[in-house]
Chain A
Amino acid sequence: MQQFTRRNFLATTAGALTAPLFLPSKALGRGGSVAPNEKIAIGSIGLGSRGSDHLRTLLPRSDVQVIAVCDVFRSKAEKAQQKVAEHYGAPGCKAYQDFREMLARPDLDAVVIAAPENWHAIMSLAALKAGKDVYCEKALSLTVAEGRAVCDAVARHGRVFQAGTQQRSDRNFRFACELARNGYLGKLQTVTVGVPSGKRVLHLPVTPPPADLDYDLWLGPAPFKPHRDNLCTYNWYFLTDYCAGWIQSWGVHHMDIGLWGAPALTASTLAVEGTAEFLTEGDADVSFGWAVKLTTPDGLQLQFHDDASSPVGHGCRFTGDRGWVHVTRGGIKAEPAELLQTVLKPADEHLYVSREHQTNFLECIRSRREPVAPARVCHAATTATLVADIATRLGRKLTWNWKSERFVGDSAADRLLNRTMRSPWQV
Chain B
Amino acid sequence: MKKLTFTLLLCASLNITAAPLPDDVAAALQTLQKYEYGQPRLPLFTLEAFSGRATAKPEQQQALAAAYLKVLTAGDSTAAARIFACQQLALVGGAAEVPALAVLLNQPEQTDFARLALQAIPAPEAGAALRTALATLTGKPLIGVINSLGERRDEPSVPALSKLSKQSDDAVRAAACLALGKIGTAEAAVALPADAVEARLLCAERAGGITAQDIYTALSTAAQPALRLAGLTGLVRLDAARATPLLTKAIHDADSALALGALRVLGQLNGDAATTALVAELPKLDATRQVALLVILAERRTTSARGAVTALAGNGDEAVRVAALEALGTLGDASSLPTLLLAAAEKKGAVKAAAETALVQLAAPGADEAFVKAIASGAAGERIAAINAAAIRAQTRALPPLCAALRDSDESVRAAAARAVGKFGTPDIYPQLVALLGAAQDTEVESAIAAVGRRMSDAHARLTPLLALLKLEGTKVATQAAVLRTLAGIGGDDALAAVRERLTSNDAALHEAAVRALCDWSDGAALEALKGLVLTSANGTHKALAMRGLFRLAPTVKNGACWFGDTFAAMQTADEKRQWLGALGTVHEADALIAAEGLLKDPDVKHEAALAMAHIGKTLVAAEPARILEYMNAVLAAVPTSTEAKAVRAEAQQALGIKSAHSSARRQTLAAGLPAAAKIVAYLDCGVEQQDKAKDGVTLRALSGQNWTWHGQSENPAALTAVFAGGRLKFEASGLQPQKHYQLGFTWWDYDANGREQSVWVGGKQVLAKTALPAWQGKQQGPLQLAVAIPSDAIKNGKVAIEFRGEGQSNVVCSEIWLVAASVPFATVTATATLTVLPAPPPAARVTQPEVRANAGAPKKILIVTGCDYPGHKWQLTTPVLTAALAKDKRLEISVIEDASFLGAPELKKYDGLVLHYQNHQIPAPGPEALANFRQFVEEGRGLVLVHFSCGAFYDWTTKTVSKDFLPLAGRVWDSKLRGHDPRGPFRVQVTDHAHPITAGLADFETTDELYTCLSGDVPIQVLATATSKVDKKIYPMAFTLTPGKGRTFHSVLGHDAQALGESVGTLYRRATAWAAGLPLDD
For A203, the chain B residues whose CB sits under 8 A away are 38, 871, 922
Q: Is the CB of A29 within 8 A of B349?
A: yes
Residue A34 is within 8 A (CB to CB) of chain B in the complex = no
Spot the interface stretch: A13-21, A61-69, A178-186, A295-303: A13-21
- State whether the Cβ of A234 lies closer than 8 Å to any Cβ in chain B: no
Chain A nearest CB, measured from B293 CB (Å): 11
CB of B1024 closer than 8 Å to a CB of A: no
* Interface 9-mer from A84-92, A162-170, A271-279, A379-387: A271-279
A303 and B284 alpha carbons, distance in the complex (Å): 52
**Contact string against B for A residues 1-37, beta-carbon threshold 8 Å, 1 for contact and 0 otherwise:** 1011110111000001110101110111100000000
With CB as the reference atom, state the residue of chain A lying closest to B839.
Answer: A395
Contact, CB under 8 Å: B265 / A158:
yes
Q: Counting CB contacts under 8 A, is A415 at the interface?
A: yes
Chain B residues, CB < 8 A from A99: none
Smallest CB gap from B39: residue in A:
A203
A304 to chain B, nearest CB (A): 16
Closest to A9 in B: B256
Does chain A have a CB within 8 A of B143?
yes
B864 within 8 Å of A (CB atoms): no
**How far does the Cβ of A227 sit from chain B's closest Cβ, in whole Å?**
10
Q: Which of B52, B148, B233, B319 lies in contact with A156, CB distance below 8 A?
A: B233
Contacts of A129 in B (CB 8 A): 198
Chain B residues with Cβ below 8 Å from A79 are none
Q: Does A288 contact B (CB under 8 A)?
A: yes
- Given that A223-B113, A223-B116, A280-B42 are contacting pairs, would A26 and B350 also be in contact in the complex, using a CB cutoff of 8 Å? yes
Interchain CB contact under 8 A, A424 and B147: yes
Whole-angstrom distance between the alpha carbons of A413 and B56 in the complex? 10
The answer on a CB contact under 8 Å between A416 and B38 is: no
Interface residues of B in 227-263 (CB under 8 A from A): 227, 229-230, 233-234, 254-257, 260-261, 263
Determine whether the beta carbon of A3 is less than 8 Å from that of B319: no
Residues of A within 8 A of B318 (CB): 23, 27, 29
CB-CB < 8 A to A205: which residues of B? Answer: 38, 921-922
In the complex the two chains form, is A424's CB within 8 Å of B291's CB? no
Taking the closest CB of chain B, its distance from the CB of A392, in whole angstroms, is 8
Contact A281 B147 (CB under 8 A): no
Number of interface residues of A (CB under 8 A): 77
Among candidates A345, A413, A426, residue contacting B147 with C-beta atoms closer than 8 Å: A426
> Does the CB pair B287–A281 fall under 8 Å?
no
| Stretch from B354-362, B644-652, B771-779, B971-979 at the A interface | B354-362
B52 & A395 in contact (Cβ 8 Å cutoff): yes
Q: Mark B341-364, 1 if CB is under 8 A from A, else 0.
A: 000000001100110000011110
Contact with B along A301-321 (1 / 0, CB 8 A): 000000000000000000000
Residues of A within 8 A of B847 (CB): none
- B832–A281 contact, CB under 8 A? yes
Bound form: Cα–Cα A68–B151 in Å: 32
Cβ–Cβ < 8 Å partners of A5 in chain B: 224
* Of listed B52, B234, B837, B921, residue having the most chain A CB within 10 A: B52
Answer whether A1 and B112 are a contact pair too, CB < 8 Å, given A203-B38, A368-B261, A394-B55: no
A421 CA to B117 CA in the complex, in Å?
11
Q: Does B18 contact A (CB under 8 A)?
A: no
A425 to B175 alpha-carbon distance, docked (Å): 10
Q: Is the CB of A27 within 8 A of B226?
A: no
CB distance from B305 to the nearest CB of A (A): 17
- Stretch of B83-91, B523-531, B815-823 lying at the A interface: B83-91
**The residue from B40, B86, B92, B322 contacting A280, defined by CB atoms under 8 A apart:** B40
Q: Specify which of A20, A158, A345, A418 is in contact with B261 (CB 8 Å cutoff).
A: A158
- Which positions 337-361 of chain A face chain B at CB distance < 8 Å? 343, 345-347, 350
Interface pair B56/A394, CB less than 8 Å apart: yes
In the complex, what residues of B have CB within 8 A of residue A49's CB? Answer: none
Tell me, rounded to whole Å, the shortest Cβ–Cβ distance linking A137 to chain B.
Answer: 22
A233 within 8 A of B: no
B305-357 CB contacts (< 8 Å) to partner A: 317-319, 322-323, 349-350, 353-354
Known: A26-B322, A205-B38. A395 touches B349 (CB 8 A): no
How far is it, in angstroms, between the C-alpha of A8 and the C-alpha of B354 when the chains are bound? 28
Q: Indicate which residue in A20, A158, A393 contacts B230 across the interface (CB closer than 8 Å).
A: A158
Nearest CB of chain A from residue B388's CB, rounded to whole Å: 14
1/0 per residue, CB under 8 A from B, across A265-299: the answer is 00000000001111111110100110000000000
Once the chains are docked, how many angstroms separate the CA of A208 from the CA of B42? 25
Binds A, one of B43-51, B439-447, B610-618: B43-51
CB of B883, distance to nearest CB on chain A (Å): 23
- Nearest A residue to B147 by beta-carbon distance? A426
- Chain A residues 179 to 200 lying within 8 A of chain B, measured CB to CB, are 200
Q: Is the CB of A10 within 8 A of B832?
A: no
CA distance A203 to B353 in the complex (A): 58
Do B205 and A156 have beta carbons less than 8 Å apart? Answer: yes
- The CB with the most chain A CB atoms within 10 A, among B53, B148, B264, B288, is that of B288
Partner of A223, one of B91, B92, B112, B256: B112
Residues of B386-425 at the interface with A, using a CB-CB cut-off of 8 Å, are 392-394
- Pairwise interchain contact A368-B292, C-beta atoms closer than 8 A: yes
Q: Are B255 and A1 in contact, with the CB atoms below 8 A? A: no
The answer to whether A131 and B226 have CB atoms under 8 Å apart is yes
> Which residues from chain B contact A395 at a C-beta distance below 8 Å?
49, 52-53, 56, 838-839
Which residue of chain B has its CB nearest to the CB of A204? Answer: B871
Contact of A411 with B by CB under 8 A: yes
B606 at the interface (CB under 8 A from A): no
B20 to chain A, nearest CB (A): 20
- Nearest A residue to B201 via CB reads A156
Q: State whether A23 touches B319 (Cβ < 8 A).
A: yes
Q: Is the CB of A420 within 8 A of B41?
A: no
B45 touches A157 (CB 8 A): no
Tell me, yes or no, whether A412 is within 8 Å of chain B by CB. Answer: yes
* Residue in A226, A280, A369, A416 whose beta carbon sits within 8 Å of that of B91 in the complex: A416
B539 interfacial by beta-carbon distance below 8 Å: no
Could you say which of A22, A225, A280 contacts B45, with CB atoms under 8 Å apart?
A: A280
Decide: A423 near B224, CB < 8 A? Known: A281-B833, A281-B845. Answer: no
Q: Known interface pairs A6-B226, A368-B261, A420-B148. Does A415 touch B122 (Cβ–Cβ under 8 Å)?
A: yes
A367 touching B87, Cβ below 8 Å: no
Asked if A152 is at the interface (CB within 8 A of a chain B CB), the reply is yes
Tell me if B38 and A278 are in contact (CB < 8 A): no
Which B residue's beta carbon lies closest to that of A199? B807
Asked, given contacts A280-B45, A412-B55, whether A156 binds B230 with beta carbons under 8 Å apart, the answer is yes
Question: Which residue of B56, B224, B261 contacts A396 across the interface (Cβ within 8 Å)?
Answer: B56
- B376, CB-defined interface residue at 8 Å: no
> How far is it, in angstroms, between the C-alpha of A421 and the C-alpha of B90 when the chains are bound?
12
Selected contact of B44 from candidates A26, A285, A343, CB within 8 Å: A285
Shortest CB–CB separation between residue B268 and chain A, in angstroms?
Answer: 10
CB neighbors of A among B673-713 (8 A): none
CA distance A275 to B49 in the complex (A): 11
Q: Which of A9, A29, A277 contacts B836 (CB 8 A)?
A: A277
> What are 16 pairs between A and B in contact, CB < 8 Å?
A10-B256, A131-B226, A158-B226, A158-B265, A225-B83, A278-B45, A280-B40, A280-B41, A280-B832, A368-B292, A394-B52, A394-B55, A412-B91, A420-B120, A426-B150, A426-B175
Taking A225-B80, A280-B842, A367-B292 as known contacts, 18 extra A-B pairs with beta carbons closer than 8 A to each other, sorted by chain A number, are: A145-B151, A152-B205, A156-B205, A158-B226, A158-B229, A158-B264, A223-B83, A279-B41, A345-B393, A346-B362, A350-B361, A368-B264, A412-B91, A413-B55, A416-B91, A419-B120, A422-B112, A426-B150
B residues apposed to A, CB below 8 Å: 37-38, 40-42, 44-45, 48-49, 52-53, 55-56, 61, 80, 83, 86-87, 90-92, 111-113, 115-117, 119-120, 122, 140-141, 143-144, 147-148, 150-151, 171, 175, 178, 195, 197-198, 201, 205, 224-227, 229-230, 233-234, 254-257, 260-261, 263-265, 286-288, 291-292, 295, 317-319, 322-323, 349-350, 353-354, 360-363, 367, 392-394, 770, 807, 832-839, 842, 845, 871, 921-922
Please give me the 7 A-B residue pairs with the lowest Cβ-Cβ distance, nearest first. Answer: A423-B144, A412-B55, A368-B260, A158-B261, A346-B363, A426-B147, A4-B226
